[in-house]
Structure 1
Amino acid sequence: MSERIVVVGAALWHEGRLLAARRSAPADLAGRWELPGGKVEPGESPEAAVVRELREELGVDAAAGERVPGQWPLRPPYVMQVWTASLRPGSPAPRPLEDHDALRWLTPDRIWDVDWLDHDVPAVRDTLTHAARHP
């Protein structure tokens, strides 16, 4: 059995809105939306990966919160886990840096206004359920 590689997705909430990031690369994902994030590096905790990925991808200073229950399969050997996150006081506003060309803050009633990547859809759905239970 091969070892799974964890990819963290950040459910970055601010003022009741969830941040969605539009992919600019690779070509097969470009134009679709996702929760920002990336691979957990060897020896790194998922929470530390959330903070690092948000800094690298969006230029923000964020804090990792709770893990959203569950995990979602990506292409083997990758699995996605989602963690809530929030901007730290004084953080700059998010801006698209690596692999993204647009960002949108979505209220819960507008979450489905963007074309989420297929593997992010169940994660986003569970993130909304988690947020409703843990305001």
Structure 2
Amino acid sequence: MLDHLATLHVAAAIIEQNGLILACRRNHDRVLGGKWEFPGGKLEPGESPGQALVREIREELGVHVVVTGELTTDDTIVGDQIIRLICLRAELLGPRPTNSTDHDALRWVDREQLPGLDWADADLPAVGLLANGATA
């Protein structure tokens, strides 16, 4: 049934520090502008999800992370494609990010407060897992 839709593979970072999880709000001039998401981006040809995540976080947030595991992988239909969001647990190597090339706000959120943000649809399964106690 969904075989005709293209699949876009995206890696996202679940970064938790001091009991708070990093959420990023997309710039208003971008697709899904104003929606919250976990930072990350599209996999390039030949990249593993972990490699893509490390690259994207460095490019977007100007910080370095190490991938420590996987939280979830979920498919969401957005328009005429499937977004396969691979949410990876990641740990900051150094200071917290203070700005982003793709986001107009960065917020460290308590997991119980995560559902209160206006999330992009693809991020909702991970938000639900985290809000219900899954460890980041």
TM-score band, normalised by the shorter chain?
0.7 to 0.9
1:37 alignment partner in structure 2: 40
In the alignment, the residues of structure 1 paired with residue 121 and residue 46 of structure 2 have an alpha-carbon distance, to the nearest angstrom, of 29
Q: How does 1:1-135 map onto structure 2 within 5 Å?
A: 1=3, 4-75=7-78, 76-88=81-93, 91-129=94-132, 132-134=133-135
Measure the CA separation in 2 of the matches of 1:85 and 1:29: 24
Give 3-state SS (helix, strand or coil) of 1:4's partner: strand
Tell me how far apart the structure 2 counterparts of residues 60 and 128 of structure 1 sit (CA, whole Å). 25
Cα displacement string for residues 112-132 of structure 1 (whole angstroms, at most 9, x for unaligned residues): 232111221122212445xx3
Report the CA distance between 1:28 and its aligned residue.
4.8
TM-score (norm 1): 0.83
For structure 1, which runs of at least 5 residues remain unmatched after alignment?
none
Using the alignment, how far apart are the partners of 2:100 and 2:17 within structure 1? Answer: 19
- Change in CA separation of 1:42 and 1:96 when aligned onto 2, cut-off 3 Å: same
Between the aligned residues of both structures, percent identity stands at 37
Query: Number of matched residues?
Result: 131
Instruction: Specify every segment of 5 or more residues in structure 2 that has no aligned partner in the other structure, as ranges.
Output: none
Contact kept, 8 Å, 1:65 with 1:84, in 2: the verdict is yes
Change (3 A) 1:83 1:37: same
Which 10-residue stretch deviates more, 91-100 or 71-80?
71-80
Structure 2 counterpart SS, 1:44: coil
Q: How far is the alpha carbon of 1:47 from its aligned partner?
A: 0.7
| Structure with the higher strand share, 1 or 2 | 2
Tell me whether 50-59 or 19-28 shows the greater mean CA deviation: 19-28
Please, which moves more after superposition, 56-65 or 20-29?
20-29
TM-score by length of 2: 0.82
